[in-house]
A and B are shown apart, each in its own frame.
Chain A
């Protein structure tokens, strides 16, 4: 085992109202590839941001090679020897490969930039990573995989001792991933410490030496990969003991799906995002998309709503083949979609609750068929009552509501359109427990009483187990299992995610 390179002790980080990290420890050794795992909101990215100086820490110590460090900006972290390569490559697409590696630290001759040396050294540096490309071409000539390797080259050249790879493989294909791994292993052999963050379990087991698991901002533990079965890892991440999971009660009051199929998708996919997914959703059914973040849950849902066009397969609604080319086409088929990222794709912050509620309905009716104010008020009031949305008035701006109430308004927006299929993508993320239960109950009630089809996507396993009558389990952007009725249990889902074998 190598020398300890980085030691983080008792790290605390508090945001207004939320304790993002509480007394987290993390140790990284030389020549070690260390994975940081945890579901949404577990604190992975906060920990990385504390380390790279994006956020200041509120407590605890960070020591590097025995010396305490206090990076305040990414630049200062870099100077300490900590470099990060993000999923969206943080380079400039319009500059040449060589320049991207050296900008800010260009070698100069007579005060002017010495392009010859830059190009020469860049080619050399990339050669050591087994990347032989024309370094005088602009970055946008190359695929994301190559761009990431260039970003790594840049980090190495600023003499990094620690390299953080944040979701580097999420847009790479198999071959590219293997190529990246080869480089990472090479750096490991040179004694670099590498923090690898990914949602792909296979890759973590393939590449990493150790895993540190976080949950709800707290440390669960640090383990050797070799001694930690996948099933245990998932159980630790979601916070359920495997045996406890087995015994968990399944809610009795589920909906009874009818035999009528509302929507069926055959072999649908979108280049680089989703591969070959089959699914059928019946009327009155609550269908769950299970899987870890990045498994393709959201992307599949977006295909069904026409956000992106499908590149293969076909979608049939009520038995009729349809081309869902934009959200409006899907809406006309009575499909509704509450997106995952509430702030970016959901709320119109500066508009009132009333306006936010009637928006989709109005979009469906068109510009000319204006819903009279009185009717708007009635719809809004009904929704507010029905979903018990807590507002001071229906004219309150939505941005001033709590997360849970914002979510309810978005759901109300779609219920107002009288959908037959309601897609809820992470409807319970970042909202209080009471509201979470309400939303789960509502999903079941809609299917049961109104015969609506519901697609429910969530990272929280219990929630899915309690609400869904059928579960589609996804991994690495593919469907890996379909669980029905009695098969639905946290354990089975975890097994499916872990790849059958425990």
Chain B
């Protein structure tokens, strides 16, 4: 009983329950949802694997977003940075029909991730040094970023025929699972490692909760804020690789479209307050998988990709209201009033 209560009040409660509900729903209404089979060449496939594969880039974005939100900031440019990273990698490898890479793939990938970091550094500079509100600072890159991506691809969709490129978002022969699941897992492990081996987690929370006291305790607040945006850019860069590999092309208009909303939603669902402070990496990861499951479920129900934001927008507002202190106060008052009324009624009855 005590354990149950501990679980219901933990940060993982909401995302895990939401995920469970979605999975049960799917298991009942979608045929063969839970089946996982092995192909002849030794790959696992099934709807569950599908969800994991598709949620990999969102998981990565959510990791970066978690830190940003914990410092009470926001990064709405991640979708555009995904598009830029995708454009860079596809541009460098090139769209030659004979399937030859113009630049070694490893180098191209490094460059794409590097550009992602650069975007993050830019955001970090605007927010931490120039003290521009995070929304506006990242809004610049959100919009101009897509322009930059289009500039790189010259408005075309660059399709890459170089075979190994597809391995990032697909399966390397001999593996049983798609590579991007491994990438996402590696990123999660990296974050866990950083959290364990460095004190950045403590500093980020401290800055998010009370920047003044953090300064008095000797923390370099500017540096901490700068780093979280740079990291968010890094995450977006890595996501860009996956997103472009999945379609084997760079589509400047659609790569990473609406992903900023999904990432914010994943973080909020994972229990991190949008006003900053304590953050939960595990929550964000499960939150991201939950969002992807929701997306898949909605597709299964016949909702199209461009209609989906309606559902997600409502989810965001609901989570915001749940998190809102004011709403909680009002609810408590209402409860107290009701309890008072009931008490009064009882007293009257007794009399």
Contacts and interface: CB of A to CB of B under 8 A. Distances in A.
- A–B interface present (Cβ within 8 A): yes
B218 to A, nearest CB: 4
Interface residues of B, number: 22
Contacts of B278: 350
A364 B217 CA distance: 9
B216 A347 contact: no
Contact of B203 (A350, A363, A371): A363
A252 interface: no
A367 B218 contact: no
B205 A350 contact: yes
Given A328-B218, A367-B198, A413-B217, A351 B205 contact: yes
A351 B198 contact: no
A287 B138 CA distance: 49
A362 B199 contact: yes
**Chain B at the A interface: SS class:** helix
Interface string B181-206: 00000000000000011111011011
B218 A348 contact: no
Question: In the complex, which of the residues B199, B200, B217, B220 has the most CB atoms of chain A within 10 Å of its own CB atom?
Answer: B217
A348 B219 CA distance: 12
Interface in B210-256: 210, 212-220
B128 to A, nearest CB: 15
B14 to A, nearest CB: 18
A327 interface: yes
A366 B205 CA distance: 15
B126 interface: no
B304 to A, nearest CB: 41
Interface stretch (A82-90, A256-264, A337-345, A457-465): A337-345
B213 A367 contact: no
B209 interface: yes
A218 interface: no
Interface in A314-371: 327-328, 331, 337, 339, 344-351, 355, 358-360, 362-371
Given A367-B199, A367-B203, A368-B198, A359 B209 contact: no
A242 interface: no
A60 to B, nearest CB: 27
B216 A346 contact: yes
Interface residues of A, number: 29
B215 A327 contact: yes
B213 A344 contact: yes
B210 A355 contact: no
Contacts of B214: 348, 359
A265 interface: no
Give the most central of B197, B215, B216, B277: most A CB within 10 Å: B216
Given A370-B199, A371-B199, A359 B206 contact: yes
Contact of B220 (A328, A355, A359): A328
A179 B215 CA distance: 38
Contacts of A370: 196-199
Given A362-B202, A367-B200, A370-B197, A351 B218 contact: no
Contact of A307 (B198, B202, B216): B216
Contact of B210 (A328, A348, A362): A348
A348 B198 contact: no
A351 B70 CA distance: 13
B203 A349 contact: no
B277 A363 contact: no
Nearest to B219: A363
A362 B215 CA distance: 13
B217 A355 contact: no
B218 A360 contact: yes
Interface string A365-394: 111111100000000000000000000000
Contacts of A344: 210, 212-213
Contacts of A339: 213, 216
B206 A348 contact: yes
Interface centre among A337, A347, A367, A368 (most CB of B within 10 A): A367
B231 to A, nearest CB: 12
A373 to B, nearest CB: 8
Interface string B268-283: 0000000001100000
A249 to B, nearest CB: 36
30 contacts: A327-B215, A328-B220, A339-B213, A339-B216, A345-B212, A345-B213, A346-B213, A348-B209, A348-B210, A348-B213, A348-B214, A350-B205, A350-B209, A350-B277, A351-B206, A355-B206, A359-B202, A359-B206, A359-B214, A360-B218, A362-B199, A362-B202, A363-B217, A363-B220, A367-B198, A368-B198, A369-B199, A370-B196, A370-B198, A371-B199
Interface of A: 307, 327-328, 331, 337, 339, 344-351, 355, 358-360, 362-371, 413
